[in-house]
Amino acid sequence: MQNILASSWVIPFLPFMAFALIGLFLYRWPKLSAAVSILAIGSSLVYSVLVAMAVFSKGPGVFEIAARWLNMPGLQVDMGLLIDPLTAVMLLVVTIVALLVQVYSIGYMHDDPGFASYFAYQSIFAGSMLGLVISNNFGQIFVFWELVGLSSYLLIGFWFGRHSAREAAKKAFITNRVGDFGFLLGILFLQIIFGTLNFSDLSGAIASYTNTAVLITVSLLLLLGPVGKSAQFPLHVWLPDAMEGPTPVSALIHAATMVAAGVYLIARAFFIFNTSPETMMVIAVLGGFTALFAASIALVQNDIKRILAYSTLSQLGYMIMALGVGAMTAGMFHLMTHAFFKSLLFLGAGSVIHALANEQDIWKMGGLHKKMPITTWTFVIGALALSGIPPLSGFWSKDEILLGTFASGHMGLYILGSLVAFMTAFYMFRLIFVAFFGENQAGEHAHESPAVMTVPLIILAVLAVFAGFVGSPLMNYAFAHYITYPGAVHHTPSMTIMLISSALAVSGIFLAWAVYQKQWLDYEELKIKMGGIYLLLYNKYYIDEFYAWLIKHFIDGTARLMEWFDLKVVNGAVNGLAWLTGYLGLNLRYTEDGQVQTYAIYIYAGMVVLIISALCAVFTAIA
Amino acid sequence: MSSLPILSLTLFIPILGAIVIMCMPADRHKPIKYVAAISTLLSLLLSLWTMINYNLTIGGMQFVERIPWIADLGVNYALGVDGISLPLLLLTNLIGFSAVYASWHTAVRVKEYFALLLILITGVMGTFITTDLFIFFLFYEVVVIPIYLLVIMFGSSKRVTKEYAGMKLTIYLLIGSAFLLVGLIALFIKAQGILGFPSMDIATLAQVNYPVGFQIFAYALMAFGFGTLLSMFPFHAWSPDGYAGAPTAVSMIHAGVLKKIGGYGLIRIGLFILPVGAKVIAPIIAVLAIGNVVYAAFICLSQKDLKYIVGYSSVSHMGYVLIGIAALNVISINGAVMMMFAHGVMAALFFAMIGNLYEKSHTRNISDFGGLAHQMPRLAFGFMLAGLVSLGLPGTVNFIGEFTIFVGAFGVYRVISIIAITGIILTALYILRTLGDILFGPRLEKWDHLQDLKGPEMVPLVVLGSAILIGGILPFTVMDFINSGVGQLLSHIASIQIGGIF
């Protein structure tokens, strides 16, 4: 048992090896590359299952080992393993989704010229993400945090020939850098104050630390990391653009795993955040706001992937809100169920896009259910789960969040959360009725995707249905038993909350059905009537434009100013000095004219000066 | 310990190579290049050998050689390496070897080019492995001549002419060295007065307890001299113009290692001999370092020429080194030395890639390029690698340096560190913008004729790339040396200081 845990470093190591092998040797053989990559992540999955069995059989507990990495007096950053139930759940989620996505990608990417490098990037992502999950200290987590950012950059910009992909990749990296700036400062504060970055050591040290102002500063700085990585307002702008990457990438990285890393970080470092109520309040409000804000944008988007992207933003906000109100278990539970149904939705969208020759506008789809039954029905299952229809997985986790929010006394956030649940159901079924059941028969020439793509869809659909049971009363809240923190309260479920949220979800679906299927309401007319609001939502509240304006005027303006200063002032001074030297030389040379008379005058003048000064000296001495 | 004078061998093999090249017929291009490659390879292997055989548990100066030279001045031809000089010695040879391959397509005045290059490499190497102040200064001056000749003979004229660039480079180096010389002479005389005998041995000079006023005066001179060499704001103006005008190999060596003599000197001579002076001047250096990090990073955003970007970016990165040196603790100085190593391999790789692209396309304007990854995937990989190192991506050696500096400096200069850390955002911005613009995007047909890296062109990428990744993934391979060297240096200072200033 201990052996399995002690050697669990192979879980991230295998994908990294696959990356190195493909990058160095195998890239000439695309099929072999894919096989190696899938073999690696498959083995990691098997190993994760073994680890999970080991962890859950012995109950809540922590296994930790570390190897020294960067070490000097006063600074120690290890590469370590921290295996507890939280890690085990994350390992399972990441390896399962990564494996399914990679298998699916065989079909989705089959004729892409960059097939081998695609799998290399997938492997480096899997390795980095798994390394992040098993980290036992902040230094290590930061290293892998940045590496998942790199893999995200590489995969968003995978079709680098496209202008938009290149810009989106850049935007993702730089926006994340802004968050990481704060994250890094937070880590530095921890190192300076506590002299360690190790989670266990820190949790001991922080428990007895009393300077609340410092704790608030540090926790807010650390929070900036998750705000960037989990795309919370105001650093959310990169995630919708990240949809430029291949759709399986969106499913894995930008829906299921990497963007959830921020949520995971807050859960992992809950002992820090939890000590300051002010920070928790900020987290809760930020998450709640992002959930609502993103859901409102999702209502009016037309691109199937963007709808899902805003939905991801919104659901991440949900998780963060849960953490903020102290319902860490619920947040992580939703992370897990969301990983399954959201990757299912993205892969389903990918299946559609693949079938329709890269068409992403839902209004140009329609009637797909006849030609693509598996895709359609798995997609519907995913959407039902996301909407929180009982007894699908999303119902249980969403209910836990609403319950936690309600029970902790955040009435405003509870109402907001319920409203978002309604909106979620509406925009998802708007998508489904328009794209899959709409009367537009674009789906005429569509065909169901090959088995290599549909089988992952079916597996994920099964997970989307059943994964929620582990946290439900049916299994006696097994999830909450393992994923928890000292002092957590698990509230007894309230039938009222369950009924309200289910009713809201059903009415959201009904409204979508009424408007987009039955067309009892003319949505085009509605669009015109709501002109201003519609435009505001459609243009994502113009936040991207605002940022672009800021960068153009402030950053680039400063840059031009500095350049001017460097050229004119600094270099001007240097060149001026050079000119002065030359000028003096040019003019003073006339003093050396080679005439004896001139030199005689110099000598004479010199003597006069000397004699006068000597006389002065003598007189002052006498006086 | 080996009885063979291993350091002297490492040092003089390139000179030997230069002499052989000078005796060869000028039109035998290939053999000349082979001689240059072999002699730098031998030095590289020898410095690796030295590193492997260096006894880390003992630490201190090892592989010591000492031959009395000018007894009246206490000058010895003395060599030795410790944990600080070893990584820099390795760096010099990594870059030297790569620089030969980066100039593989040189076609005019090949003989002069490679002979000068080899002399340059020896000059730089000498400063890092000598333990004698006089010899240090001697090698420092040896460097100036080949640099000037190489720039004006083989350089390129863009925004400024190569003559202007060469002159600027040389004059800055000389002004710096003039101040340095004054400082060194003052130090020598003062020490002789206290010791009672003349000595140029750095360790002996460091035993002396100099008066505080003198320390401040002498350190200020050195801070100016070495600071200029390290392109400390506002004495950085030589750097972008100089790199832009210089031929590829010179840019590689200059940005990669020559600049690091400044940082090395500040630690090995300034801090070691004049710790109190260092303590007093340090806050000034830290403030100026912000000028380096942030100001230069902003300028990078508005540059249009690839070489200027790397030139200003190198000014920006040196700010981190300066902050590390100014924070005066083991962690920060460890970080500063690591950063010098890291920046060295990164800048050299960057310049090698730019040089290669320029050689083929005859332009360095960012706006001329786009989508080069279509035609030149390997070159694109090299550029991306250098860029990611530059923005401090974990897993590359630069991150280790930056992170360690931040940890070391954060407790000492809180506000300055925070301002400096914003540099990581700006760096990401200008690097990704630039690389995105030249490498990605739609394929441009006008560059279809460009050949990707192949054969000897791959050598810099492989050599420097390996150093980047090994140092980044297994940082202790380099950091253990640095930590041993810096730790001993600082504990020596602590032991001789009375009153516990440190």
- Could you please report the per-residue DSSP string of A230-287? TT-TTSTTHHHHGGGS-HHHHHIIIIISGGGHHHHHHHHTHHHHTT-HHHHHHHHHHH
Residue B63, SS3 per DSSP: strand
A191 in contact with chain B, both atoms CB, cutoff 8 A: yes
Distance CA A81, CA A140 (A): 10
Q: Do B303 and A563 touch (CB under 8 A)?
A: yes
From residue B502, alpha-carbon distances to A606, B127, B278, B326, B493 in Å are 53, 27, 11, 13, 8
Task: Tell me which chain A residue has its CA closest to the CA of residue B479.
Answer: A70
A183 in contact with chain B, both atoms CB, cutoff 8 A: no
**Beta bridge mates, B305:** B365
How confident is the model at residue B500, as a pLDDT?
Answer: 47
Mean pLDDT is lowest, of A30-44, A357-371, B13-27, for A357-371
Q: Using one digit for the tens of pLDDT, what is the confidence trace for A396-407?
A: 999 989 999 998
- Using pLDDT thresholds of 50, 70 and 90, give the confidence band for residue A523: confident
How confident is the model at residue A60, as a pLDDT?
Answer: 59
- Using pLDDT thresholds of 50, 70 and 90, give the confidence band for residue B2: very low
Check pLDDT > 90 for residue A369.
no
Question: Who among B237, B303, B439 is closest to A570 (CB)?
Answer: B237
Q: Do A574 and B168 touch (CB under 8 A)?
A: yes
Q: Which of A144, A156, A170, A221 is best to mutate for the B interface (most B CBs within 10 A)? A: A170
Mean pLDDT is lowest, of A124-128, A440-444, A479-483, for A440-444
Chain A contacts in chain B segment 284-303 (CB below 8 A): 295, 298-303
The upper half-sphere exposure of residue B261, i.e. CA atoms within 13 Å in the direction of its Cβ, equals: 31
What average pLDDT does this structure show over B39-68?
92
The string of DSSP letters for A458-511 reads: HHHHHHHHHGGGGGSGGGTTHHHHHS--TT--PPPP-HHHHHHHHHHHHHHHHH
Considering Cα of A15, then A121, then A148, then A143, what sign does the dihedral take?
positive
Check pLDDT > 50 for residue A237.
yes
Q: Using one digit for the tens of pLDDT, what is the confidence trace for B136-183?
A: 999 998 888 899 999 999 988 888 888 888 988 888 888 888 999 999
Check pLDDT > 70 for residue A443.
no
pTM: 0.92
Is the distance from CB of B75 to CB of B200 less than 8 angstroms? Answer: yes
Question: Who among A73, A562, A571 is closest to B487 (CB)?
Answer: A73
- Using pLDDT thresholds of 50, 70 and 90, give the confidence band for residue B1: very low
What average pLDDT does this structure show over A525-533?
80
The string of DSSP letters for B267-305 reads: IIIIIHH-HHHHHHHHHHHHHHHHIIIIIHHHHHHT--B
Identity of residue A603: I
How confident is the model at residue A166, as a pLDDT?
Answer: 93
Is the distance from CB of A155 to CB of A120 less than 8 angstroms? Answer: no
- Using pLDDT thresholds of 50, 70 and 90, give the confidence band for residue A446: confident
What average pLDDT does this structure show over B197-206?
90
Quickly tell me which residue has 């630069």 as its tokens.
B398
Distance CA B242, CA A63 (A): 55
How confident is the model at residue A1, as a pLDDT?
Answer: 64
What average pLDDT does this structure show over A482-508?
84
Chain B contacts in chain A segment 53-112 (CB below 8 A): 68-75, 77
Is the distance from CB of A92 to CB of A129 less than 8 angstroms? Answer: no
Distance CA B268, CA B274 (A): 10
How confident is the model at residue B499, as a pLDDT?
Answer: 44
Residue A129 host element (H or E): helix A115-133
Nearest Cα of chain B lies from the Cα of A203 at a distance, in angstroms, of 20
Q: What six digits make up the tokens of A451? A: 């088995």
Q: Do B424 and A163 touch (CB under 8 A)?
A: no
Q: pLDDT: is A445 or A144 the higher one?
A: A144
Chain B contacts in chain A segment 329-388 (CB below 8 A): none
Question: Who among B299, B425, B441 is closest to A562 (CB)?
Answer: B299
Task: Tell me which chain A residue has its CA closest to the CA of residue B233.
Answer: A570
Can you give the C-alpha Rg of chain A in angstroms? 31
Q: Which residues contact B476 (CB under 8 A, 6 or more apart)?
A: A68, A69, A70, A71
Question: Who among A71, A166, A578 is closest to B476 (CB)?
Answer: A71
Query: Count of residues for chain B?
Result: 502
DSSP B392: T
Q: Using one digit for the tens of pLDDT, what is the confidence trace for B284-331?
A: 999 999 989 999 999 999 999 999 999 999 999 999 999 999 999 999
What average pLDDT does this structure show over A293-298?
93
How confident is the model at residue B497, as a pLDDT?
Answer: 59
Mean pLDDT is lowest, of A22-36, A507-521, B251-265, for A507-521
What percentage of chain A has pLDDT greater than the value 70? 99
- Helix B397-410 and helix B476-496, axial crossing angle in degrees, nearest 10: 30
Q: Do A166 and B406 touch (CB under 8 A)?
A: no
Q: Measured between beta carbons, which residues in chain B are less than 8 angstroms from residue A148?
A: none
Nearest Cα of chain A lies from the Cα of B482 at a distance, in angstroms, of 10
Q: Measured between beta carbons, which residues in chain B are less than 8 angstroms from residue A144?
A: 394
How confident is the model at residue A188, as a pLDDT?
Answer: 94
Residue of A403, A412, A411, A394 whose CA lies nearest to A500: A403
B280 in contact with chain A, both atoms CB, cutoff 8 A: no
Check pLDDT > 90 for residue B494.
no
Mean pLDDT is lowest, of A164-178, A216-230, A481-495, A534-548, for A481-495
Check pLDDT > 70 for residue A94.
yes
Chain A contacts in chain B segment 151-170 (CB below 8 A): 168
Nearest Cα of chain B lies from the Cα of A147 at a distance, in angstroms, of 7
Distance CA A9, CA A15 (A): 11
Distance CA B340, CA B260 (A): 6
Check pLDDT > 90 for residue B47.
yes
State the Cα torsion A380-A381-A382-A384 to the nearest 10°: 80
How confident is the model at residue A380, as a pLDDT?
Answer: 93
- Helix A393-407 and helix A495-512, axial crossing angle in degrees, nearest 10: 120
Chain A contacts in chain B segment 223-252 (CB below 8 A): 234, 236-237, 241
Q: Do A173 and B432 touch (CB under 8 A)?
A: yes
Distance CA A469, CA A392 (A): 8
Distance CA A380, CA A366 (A): 14
DSSP B443: P
Q: What six digits make up the tokens of A534? A: 């519609």
Chain A contacts in chain B segment 400-429 (CB below 8 A): 400, 403-404, 406-408, 410-411, 417-418, 421-422, 424-425, 428-429
What average pLDDT does this structure show over B83-90?
94
Q: Using one digit for the tens of pLDDT, what is the confidence trace for A111-124?
A: 888 899 999 999 99
Task: Tell me which chain A residue has its CA closest to the CA of residue B380.
Answer: A160
Considering Cα of A522, then A311, then A324, then A502, what sign does the dihedral take?
positive
How confident is the model at residue A442, as a pLDDT?
Answer: 65
Q: Measured between beta carbons, which residues in chain A are less than 8 angstroms from residue B439?
A: 160
What percentage of chain A has pLDDT greater than the value 90? 61
* CB count in 10 Å sphere of residue A66: 17
Task: Tell me which chain A residue has its CA closest to the CA of residue B476.
Answer: A70
Q: Using one digit for the tens of pLDDT, what is the confidence trace for B344-361?
A: 999 999 999 999 999 999
Nearest Cα of chain A lies from the Cα of B386 at a distance, in angstroms, of 14
Question: Who among A72, A139, A192 is closest to B411 (CB)?
Answer: A192
Residue A68 host element (H or E): strand A63-72
Q: What six digits make up the tokens of B199? A: 């000595």
Residue B62 host element (H or E): strand B62-70
Q: Are strands A63-72 and B75-81 parallel, antiparallel or unpaired?
A: unpaired
Question: How many degrees, rounded to 5, is the angle at CA A41 between CA A37 and CA A47?
Answer: 145
Nearest Cα of chain A lies from the Cα of B196 at a distance, in angstroms, of 37
Q: What six digits make up the tokens of A476? A: 């006696």
DSSP A66: E
From residue B230, alpha-carbon distances to B170, B173, B216 in Å are 14, 10, 20
Is the distance from CB of A108 to CB of A350 less than 8 angstroms? Answer: yes
Is the distance from CB of A78 to CB of A67 less than 8 angstroms? Answer: yes
Is the distance from CB of A313 to CB of A239 less than 8 angstroms? Answer: yes
DSSP A258: G
ipTM over 0.90: yes
In three-state form (DSSP H/G/I as H, E/B as E, the rest C), the secondary structure along A398-447 is: HHHHHHHHHHCCCHHHHHHHHHHHHHHHHHHHHHHHHHCCCCCCHHHHCC
Is the distance from CB of A172 to CB of A231 less than 8 angstroms? Answer: no
Task: Tell me which chain B residue has its CA closest to the CA of residue A194.
Answer: B411
Q: Measured between beta carbons, which residues in chain B are less than 8 angstroms from residue A76?
A: none
From residue A319, alpha-carbon distances to A138, A328, A475 in Å are 22, 9, 22
What percentage of chain B has pLDDT greater than the value 70? 98
B494 in contact with chain A, both atoms CB, cutoff 8 A: no
Distance CA A135, CA B352 (A): 36
**Beta bridge mates, B201:** B132
Can you give the C-alpha Rg of chain B in angstroms? 21
Q: Do A555 and B299 touch (CB under 8 A)?
A: no
B481 in contact with chain A, both atoms CB, cutoff 8 A: no
Q: Measured between beta carbons, which residues in chain B are less than 8 angstroms from residue A178?
A: 425
Q: Measured between beta carbons, which residues in chain B are less than 8 angstroms from residue A560?
A: 302
Residue of A381, A376, A417 whose CA lies nearest to A400: A417
- Using pLDDT thresholds of 50, 70 and 90, give the confidence band for residue B421: very high
Q: Do B476 and A160 touch (CB under 8 A)?
A: no
Q: Using one digit for the tens of pLDDT, what is the confidence trace for A160-193?
A: 999 999 999 999 999 999 999 999 999 999 999 9
